């Protein structure tokens, strides 16, 4: 399974913040041994062309201009950016990550990651919510929110950025409502963890998922019917996610957070972007391009069901088995014949 790693540069009224920091090129030399060993044991191959700070500087952004980074979770990502503020997690964040490596050999967090910085812990105690997520209005004007989404890891946060506003003049092809990008971080790692849902059921036809037809010589492949994908679903459902990941510190909270995210994914004006969704690479434009016009470019619509291609071999096997059964029934000897 191939994955990506997306980070966001958010600019608002002269301020610049980073949501997530990406993976550093020298991750192996600058990660706790326990994390390096786990990656190697799992057979993971990590390839990083550029550090996020290098991408910013190559495009004329001074690192001194970054007001604060907000990594969605603390393990193995922090890069040395010369700033003093560091948005952390919810209350007790620092207590949860300390002692860090090398004081605690099994810790996945480097002690040096926060050294010399004032870690600002995000509080969600005011009772404000977006959907069912405890939320913080970061700039105080509804342009960017941090959402408490625990489960994958203690204090995991998502982001919700307003990308266009209905109060602004816009072309006719734009949405008549505000549009947002939901920055999912590690709330999930694959589209099959939160799609389909009761809010976003499997479509009746999937044009971007050409149907594999056994023994066919035609170069034209018809679109796959959604009901065929439902047959390989563990619950044969068109309204439940394909599977539940067990890659979480607290499985119950992780599932609860994903269920909350499904309600955002239901809206056509919200584009859900997971930190590691490689299906987006051939759909979206990366920095220095902007993402504000994602709705006009139909990024969400084009990418929503691309994860289903990971199940193509399962569909092939199902159709082969089905064809074999039908062949056996057709040519099975008539047992009632003398």
Q: Output the pLDDT for position 84.
A: 43
C-alpha separations of 40 from 33, 46, 171 in Å: 10, 10, 50
Q: Output the pLDDT for position 119.
A: 72
Whether the CB-CB separation of 133 and 147 falls below 8 Å is answered with: yes
Say which residues have a Cβ less than 8 Å from residue 292's Cβ, sequence separation at least 6. 163, 164
Residue 338 binned pLDDT confidence (cut-offs 50, 70, 90): very low
> What's the burial of 329, exposed, middle or buried (CB within 10 Å: 0-12/13-18/19+)?
exposed
**Structural domains of the chain, with CATH:** 8-201+239-297 (3.60.15.10)
Q: Output the pLDDT for position 282.
A: 93
**Tens digit of each residue's pLDDT (9 = 90 or more) over 87-139:** 544 445 666 667 888 898 888 788 877 777 777 778 888 889 999 999 999 99
**Tens digit of each residue's pLDDT (9 = 90 or more) over 48-80:** 999 998 999 999 999 888 887 666 555 545 444
Q: Output the pLDDT for position 98.
A: 74
């Amino acid at each position: 399974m191939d994955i990506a790693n997306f980070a966001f540069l958010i600019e608002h009224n002269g301020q610049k913040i980073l949501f997530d920091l990406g993976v550093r090129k020298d991750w192996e030399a600058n990660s706790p041994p326990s994390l390096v060993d786990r990656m190697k044991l799992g057979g993971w191959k990590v390839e990083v062309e550029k550090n996020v700070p290098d991408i910013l500087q190559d495009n004329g952004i001074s690192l001194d201009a970054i007001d604060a980074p907000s990594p969605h979770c603390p393990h193995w990502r922090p890069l040395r950016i010369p700033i003093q503020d560091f948005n952390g997690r919810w209350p007790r964040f620092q207590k949860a990550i300390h002692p860090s490596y090398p004081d605690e050999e099994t810790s996945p967090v480097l002690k040096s990651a926060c050294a010399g910085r004032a870690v600002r812990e995000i509080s969600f105690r005011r009772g404000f919510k977006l959907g069912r997520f405890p939320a913080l209005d970061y700039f105080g004007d509804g342009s960017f929110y941090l959402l408490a989404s625990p489960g994958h890891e203690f204090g995991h946060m998502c982001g919700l950025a307003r990308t266009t506003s209905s109060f602004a003049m816009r072309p006719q092809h734009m949405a008549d409502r505000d549009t947002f990008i939901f920055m999912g971080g590690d709330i999930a790692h694959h589209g099959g963890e939160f799609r389909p849902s009761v809010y976003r059921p499997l479509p009746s036809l999937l044009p971007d998922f050409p149907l594999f037809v056994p023994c066919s010589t035609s170069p034209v492949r018809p679109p796959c019917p959604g009901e065929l994908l439902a047959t390989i679903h563990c619950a044969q459902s068109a309204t439940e996610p394909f599977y539940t990941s067990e890659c979480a510190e607290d499985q119950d909270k992780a599932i609860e957070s994903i269920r909350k995210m499904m309600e955002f994914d239901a809206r056509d004006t919200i584009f859900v972007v997971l930190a590691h969704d490689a299906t987006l690479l051939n759909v979206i434009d990366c920095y220095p391009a902007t993402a504000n016009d994602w709705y006009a470019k139909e990024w969400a619509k084009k990418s929503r069901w691309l994860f289903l291609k990971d199940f193509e071999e399962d569909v092939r096997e199902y159709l082969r088995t089905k064809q074999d059964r039908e062949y056996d029934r057709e040519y099975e000897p008539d047992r009632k014949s003398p």
